[in-house]
Amino acid sequence: MRLPTSGRAAVAGVALLSSFTIWAPTSTAAPDPTVDAEGIREALLDATAQGAPGAMARYDGPEGTVTEEAGERSLDTGLPMDTDHRFRVGSVTKTFTAVVLLQLIGEGAADLDDPVNAHLPGLLPDDRITLRHILSHRSGLWDYSNDMFAQTVPGFEAVRDKVFTLQELVDLSLTQPLTVEPGSAYAYSNANFVVAGILIEHLTGQSLNEAYQERVITPLGLADTGYVHPDPALPGPHIDGHLTPDEADAPLVDSTEQTVSWAQSAGALYSTPADLNRFLTALLDGELLGPDELDAMLTMAPTDTTGTRFYGLGLRRYDLSCELSVYGHTGTVQGYYTYAFTTEDGDRSLTATANASNNGTVNTALGNTLEAAFCDPEEPPTAPRFTPQSEPDLPPEQARE
């Protein structure tokens, strides 16, 4: 099993739109020629040009590591982005949550096709909704965040310091009818992974924090990953988050401190690029799940009509122009956009993040790191270039074009 490499050197005198590449080779072989470091750098610079104070990325592959950084980790401070610093990963949390629940399924505590209500009687209004539906966004549960963040900054400020119970979030979802018949269609909803969080606590008798730590974070040695609910502070060295108001030309709002209680098991983890790459490598390499559970997680269905975007169980698949599929998740939480993806064998991984949200052009620019990281720039594409789009981790107002 290959471990992600390190060896990042200190660089002084970083300007606002600085960027640099550092390779930490694991052997005497040349760095992986398929990685377009310049393309990654250009994508990050584009994200800062579109309004993010900063952006950064880390790629880990068989031949070594490349890191790229642009801009500031906190607006108007002159402090450079730093790939060793922590940030809120948003909906990348869903992959961690799915792994924990699938581990429990592998241990016989539940079955994917069990109705949720068989374990949590009366929680949901329809006995047809199964654990598989929850993890694949096919339950039809209304996404309560649509109403919560209909106005971006006022919505955020209303919940910034609020602490919800998981049951309260489910209750918010149930104020609206199901959006689709259970199992009939993909309909992304944070409520699904709130239910998954309730199931985890019920089946383990542990808090979510304890379950993540015991089952994923500690076994993988993810020293810079954690679950900080309801404490609003990000612990340790971290990247500040910035929320873009709906009003044109309005100043960014510092959103670093927040409980993220509105998301919890749907989006409240923090991490670093190195830790997320390690997590995805371990997941696809079979370290975290048994073969049956991993196969179920990787069983994908399309989420739109592009033929390039798919969803399994807490896991996205994107099909790139070089006919390579990458697996992982996007993350949107107030102040941060994240892309964390790996190849099917877990051998090549990329995590990229920008410290501004509610700006779809930033999100799209950041997503352009995927083609640069995984497709050889010297080889002509065999399919149309993958075009990042704002994924529905939050409603459109939170990830607008």
Helix (H, G, I), strand (E, B) or coil at 340: strand
91 is catalytic: yes
Percent of the chain topping pLDDT 70: 89
CATH of the domain at 294: 3.40.710.10
pLDDT for residue 380 = 86
pLDDT for residue 38 = 96
Q: Which residue has the higher pLDDT, 393 or 258?
A: 258
Residue 13 lies in a domain: no
Kindly report which listed range (25-34, 127-136, 151-160) carries the lowest average pLDDT score.
Answer: 25-34
pLDDT tens digits for range 105-119: 999 999 999 999 999
pLDDT over 60 (residue 1)? no
pLDDT for residue 32 = 56
How many folded domains does the chain comprise? 1
pLDDT over 80 (residue 2)? no
Going through 180-273 in order, the beta strands assigned E by DSSP cover 226-227, 242-243, 253-254, 269-271
With cut-offs at 50, 70 and 90, classify the pLDDT of residue 392.
low
Average pLDDT over every residue of 276-304:
97
pLDDT for residue 24 = 36
Residue 107 lies in a domain: yes
With cut-offs at 50, 70 and 90, classify the pLDDT of residue 299.
very high
Tokens of 13: 């005198």
Average pLDDT over every residue of 371-387:
90
Going through 72-182 in order, the beta strands assigned E by DSSP cover 87-88
- Residue 270: phi and psi, rounded to 5, are -120, 160
Residue 14 lies in a domain: no
Residue 25 lies in a domain: no
Residue 15 lies in a domain: no
pLDDT over 70 (residue 323)? yes
Q: Confirm if 66 and 31 have CB atoms less than 8 A apart.
A: yes
Percent of the chain topping pLDDT 90: 84
Which residue range(s) make up the domain with 93?
37-398
pLDDT over 60 (residue 26)? no
Other beta carbons within 10 Å of 180: 16
Q: Which residue has the higher pLDDT, 323 or 2?
A: 323
Residue 363 lies in a domain: yes
With cut-offs at 50, 70 and 90, classify the pLDDT of residue 27.
very low
Q: Which of 196, 208, 172 is nearest to 120 (CA)?
A: 196
Residue 385 lies in a domain: yes
Average pLDDT over every residue of 311-334:
97
pLDDT over 60 (residue 290)? yes
Other beta carbons within 10 Å of 237: 12
pLDDT tens digits for range 35-60: 999 999 999 999 999 999 999 999 99
pLDDT tens digits for range 173-198: 999 999 999 999 999 999 999 999 99
Residue 142 lies in a domain: yes
Considering the candidates 19, 91, 261, 271, report the single residue annotated as catalytic. 91
The span from the CA of 263 to the CA of 253, in Å, is 20
The span from the CA of 363 to the CA of 326, in Å, is 18
